Structure 1
Amino acid sequence: METLTPTEEQVMAIVWQLEKALVRDVLNAYPEPKPPYTTLASIMKQLERKGFLDHRTYGTTHEYFPLIGKKTYQNRSFNQLVTNYFEGSAKNVLSFMVKEKKLSGKDLEDLEKLVQELKNQKKS
Structure 2
Amino acid sequence: MTTEKIGLEDLPWRERQVVEVIYRLQEATAAQIQEQLEEPPSNSAIRAMLSRLEEKGVLTHREEGQRYFYKAVEAKNKVADSALKKLVGVFFNDSPASAATALLGMSEKLSSADIDQLQALIDKAKKEGR
TM interval, short-chain normalised:
0.7 to 0.9
Per-residue CA deviation, residues 46-65 of structure 1 (Å, 9 max, x unaligned), is 11111111122356543222
Residue in structure 2 matching 1:102, options 96, 99, 106: 106
1:117–1:14 distance in 2 versus 1, CA, 3 Å: same
Q: Name the structure 2 match of 1:87.
A: 93
Q: Distance in 2 between matches of 1:7 and 1:73?
A: 17
Q: Distance in 2 between matches of 1:17 and 1:34?
A: 17
Q: RMSD between aligned alpha carbons?
A: 2.5
Q: Distance in 2 between matches of 1:25 and 1:117?
A: 40
Q: Distance in 2 between matches of 1:18 and 1:10?
A: 12
Per-residue CA deviation, residues 20-42 of structure 1 (Å, 9 max, x unaligned), is 22211211222x31211111111
Larger RCO (alpha carbons 8 Å, 6+ apart): 2
Q: Name the structure 2 match of 1:72.
A: 78
1:17–1:94 distance in 2 versus 1, CA, 3 Å: closer
Q: Name the structure 1 match of 2:18.
A: 11
Question: Any unmatched runs of 5+ in structure 2?
Answer: none
Q: Name the structure 1 match of 2:33.
A: 26
1:57–1:111 distance in 2 versus 1, CA, 3 Å: closer
Residue in structure 2 matching 1:40, options 46, 64, 69: 46
Residue in structure 1 matching 2:119, options 97, 116, 119: 116
State the number of aligned residues: 119
Larger CA deviation: 50-59 vs 19-28: 50-59
Paired-residue identity, %: 21
Normalization by structure 1: what TM-score? 0.77
SS at match of 2:110: helix
Normalization by structure 2: what TM-score? 0.74
Question: Any unmatched runs of 5+ in structure 1?
Answer: none
